[in-house]
Amino acid sequence: MSRTSADVHGVPVVGDVDRIAAHPDPVVRNLQITHCYHQLSLALAARTGGSANWCTFAVWASKQIGQTIRQEDLARTAERLLTSSPEAAAGIDLVARSLRRAVPQQDLERVHEIVRRTIVTTARLDDVSAAGAQGNLKVFEEIAREFARFLAEFGQGPGDERIEEFCDGLRPGEPPEGQRYLRQAFTRYHRAMTTSDPKQRAELLLLANIEVGLHEQTRLQPEIAAATEAPVVDPRDLERRLFEVLLPGNRVVRWFRVALLTVLGRRTAVRIAGEQLADQVRALVRRAVTEHLMTLALPGGELLDLSRDLPATFPPELAELSDPDLLALLKTVDPTPDSMRGTAARDWADLPDRMHYIADMFRCHALRGDLLGPPFTAEQVEALTGGRRPGGAL
Is 2 inside any structural domain? no
**Does 189 lie in the same domain as 303?**
yes
Is 7 inside any structural domain? no
**Does 59 lie in the same domain as 141?**
yes
pLDDT digits 0-9 by tens, 36-95: 999 999 999 999 999 999 999 999 999 999 999 998 888 888 888 888 999 998 998 888
**Does 200 lie in the same domain as 183?**
yes
**Does 315 lie in the same domain as 379?**
yes
> Exposed/middle/buried for 59, CB within 10 Å: 0-12, 13-18, 19+?
buried
Q: Which one-letter amino acid corresponds to residue 296?
A: L
Of the listed ranges 105-109, 122-126, 147-151, 350-354, the least confidently predicted one is 105-109
Is 331 inside any structural domain? yes
**Does 149 lie in the same domain as 217?**
yes
**Does 167 lie in the same domain as 221?**
yes
- Region of residue 376 (left: phi > 0; alpha: psi -120 to 50; beta: else): beta
Residue 119's nearest CA partner among 319, 321, 281, 350 is 281
**Does 114 lie in the same domain as 58?**
no
State the chain's maximal CA–CA distance in angstroms: 82
**Does 210 lie in the same domain as 130?**
yes
Query: In total, how many domains does the chain have?
Result: 2
**Does 244 lie in the same domain as 108?**
yes
Is 79 inside any structural domain? no
Q: What is the pLDDT of residue 275?
A: 86
pLDDT digits 0-9 by tens, 343-372: 999 889 999 999 999 999 999 999 999 999
What CA–CA distances, in Å, run from 245 to 34, 113, 117, 232, 394? 38, 12, 11, 20, 32
Helix (H), strand (E) at residue 263 = strand 262-264
Is 5 inside any structural domain? no
> Exposed/middle/buried for 182, CB within 10 Å: 0-12, 13-18, 19+?
buried
CA–CA dist 114, 238 (Å, integer): 11
pLDDT digits 0-9 by tens, 240-251: 888 787 776 656
CA–CA dist 66, 393 (Å, integer): 12
Are the C-beta atoms of residues 12 and 39 closer than 8 Å to each other?
A: yes
Query: What percentage of the chain's residues is helix, strand, coil (to nearest 5)?
Result: 65, 5, 30
DSSP per-residue string spanning 100-118: TTTS-GGGGGGHHHHHHHH
CA–CA dist 183, 16 (Å, integer): 22
Return the SS3 of 318. helix
Range of the domain at 167: 14-73+125-230+294-385
**Does 318 lie in the same domain as 207?**
yes
159 or 318, higher pLDDT: 318
CA–CA dist 356, 298 (Å, integer): 19
**Does 299 lie in the same domain as 277?**
no
Is 37 inside any structural domain? yes
pTM over 0.75: yes
